[in-house]
A and B are shown apart, each in its own frame.
Chain A
Amino acid sequence: GENVEQHPSTLSVQEGDSAVIKCTYSDSASNYFPWYKQELGKRPQLIIDIRSNVGEKKDQRIAVTLNKTAKHFSLHITETQPEDSAVYFCAASTNNNDMRFGAGTRLTVKP
């Protein structure tokens, strides 16, 4: 089955800096890659997703890139703000909706 690895497990940045989180996946049939943000005590919420027919997607300060050949995808957050502090999860799934998540990255943005 699919195996998703996520790095780093913790990331601390200064407000205004950029943050990058990287994930790799094992199943070449995976074609959907969402990213979720989970604040303390809350449920995970989708922040951006990318499909395998696209190499990059941007939404304001958030962007995701996908390299299908290397089987890795990354989340980029620019101009970080304290409210970006949370745990971020990457995930991958095939057409069968069998979503597999990475272990998460705890992002801390210091004011």
Chain B
Amino acid sequence: KAGVTQTPRYLIKTRGQQVTLSCSPISGHRSVSWYQQTPGQGLQFLFEYFSETQRNKGNFPGRFSGRQFSNSRSEMNVSTLELGDSALYLCASSRDPGPVLHNEQFFGPGTRLTVL
């Protein structure tokens, strides 16, 4: 079974531009979560999508948005890029069988975004 994939792997943008990152979950997984990882900041939760709906949201400004398609693939978009947006963006997928059990989140390799 193929793992979580993310494209592109590396991206360089300049301030003010916008960027779209893509995440393809493991086949059969319906939940996709996005995280921002910066040195010393751990994994900051951005948002989680399930069945094309944003179910959870972290404390990030509205410049960060996302969506999920009917095949569970997800994209996140960052508009008006700032230098501080430079980070590794990780997505993770899980099966999400319901409220009783929790499934492991499988991470993708990440997209390293550099904002100049």
- Tell me how far the C-beta of A97 lies from the nearest C-beta in chain B, rounded to whole angstroms: 6
Interface residues of B in 18-58 (CB under 8 A from A): 31, 33, 35, 40-45, 48, 50, 55-56, 58
Inter-chain contacts of B108 with A (CB < 8 A): 43
Contact B33 A97 (CB under 8 A): yes
Q: Hey, which bits of chain B sit against chain A, CB under 8 A?
A: 31, 33, 35, 40-45, 48, 50, 55-56, 58-59, 90, 92, 94, 96, 99-100, 102, 104-105, 107-110
Tell yes or no: A17 within 8 A of B by CB.
Answer: no
Determine the chain B residues whose CB is within 8 A of the CB of A103 once the complex forms.
40-42
A-B contact count (CB 8 A): 62
Contacts of B50 in A (CB 8 A): 97
User: What's the tally of chain A residues with a CB closer than 8 Å to chain B?
Assistant: 25
